[in-house]
Amino acid sequence: MFNLRPAVSSVTEPLGRSLLGVGVTANAVTVAGTVASVAASLGLLARGHLFLGAVVVTLTVLTDALDGTMARMSGGSTRWGAFLDSSLDRFVDGAVLGSLAFWYATGGHDDVLCAVSLAALVLGSITSYVKARAQSVGMTCDVGIVERTERLVLALGACIFGGVGVPYVRPALLWVLLALSAVTVGQRLAEVRRQAVAA
């Protein structure tokens, strides 16, 4: 597997250093990236501009790497920064799948894929909630076949393939996203139960 971290760092480190130099904080980049991602989702994906929307959202989501680099350069992530980053991630996830669901319910004319998108959105939120709730009661929950990155790759991949007219791939990826999200929720619930019983 290719290690993309050096390539990403070669971009994020000088950019992050420059932004810090002019007084921009990692948290400001987090907020800006979230606003841009949500705006691109609502303005492009929800209106059926799937390819362009997916490309723009992908670029804005990459600010996750930038704000992390900036936090490290400025002395490490604070509790508030980590909380803010995780919380705003939920806005992006909701905007992407919510916009897809809206498109399918309106211009896309596909009630089934609208429901699939909404179900994947709900399962993604539950996946994150189960982990956070487990941690709040002193347990860990670092299991699951798909994390946030994989969910976004599947959702945005569906948009890109759909946007260029590749048949069948878009619905297939959304169904895969739904199935894997359901499996992940089950894995996390089972893991928390296992720890609770063992304790």
Residue 79: φ, ψ to 5° = -60, -40
**In a 10 Å sphere around its CB, with 0-12 CB exposed, 13-18 middle and 19+ buried, how is residue 99 labelled?**
buried
Q: For residues 101 and 113, give the distance between their C-alpha atoms in angstroms, rounded to a whole number.
A: 7
User: Band of the pLDDT at 9, cuts 50, 70, 90?
Assistant: confident
Q: For residues 47 and 108, give the distance between their C-alpha atoms in angstroms, rounded to a whole number.
A: 9
Question: What domain count does the chain have?
Answer: 1
The DSSP call for residue 145 is S
Contact between 134 and 188 (Cβ < 8 Å): yes
Give the percent of the chain with pLDDT over 70: 96
Comparing 44-53, 72-81, 188-197, the range with the smallest average pLDDT is: 72-81
Q: What is the CATH number of the domain that holds 141?
A: 1.20.120.1760
Structural domain including 16 reads: 5-198
Give the percent of the chain with pLDDT over 90: 68
Q: For residues 132 and 136, give the distance between their C-alpha atoms in angstroms, rounded to a whole number.
A: 6
3-state secondary structure of 61: helix
User: Band of the pLDDT at 143, cuts 50, 70, 90?
Assistant: very high
DSSP string, 8-31: HHHHHHHHHHHHHHTT--HHHHHH
Q: What is the pLDDT of residue 173?
A: 95
Q: For residues 148 and 151, give the distance between their C-alpha atoms in angstroms, rounded to a whole number.
A: 5
User: Band of the pLDDT at 74, cuts 50, 70, 90?
Assistant: confident
- Please give the positions annotated as active site: 89
pTM (two decimals)? 0.88
3-state secondary structure of 166: coil
Q: What is the pLDDT of residue 66?
A: 87
User: Band of the pLDDT at 1, cuts 50, 70, 90?
Assistant: very low
Residue for token pair 């990155």: 149
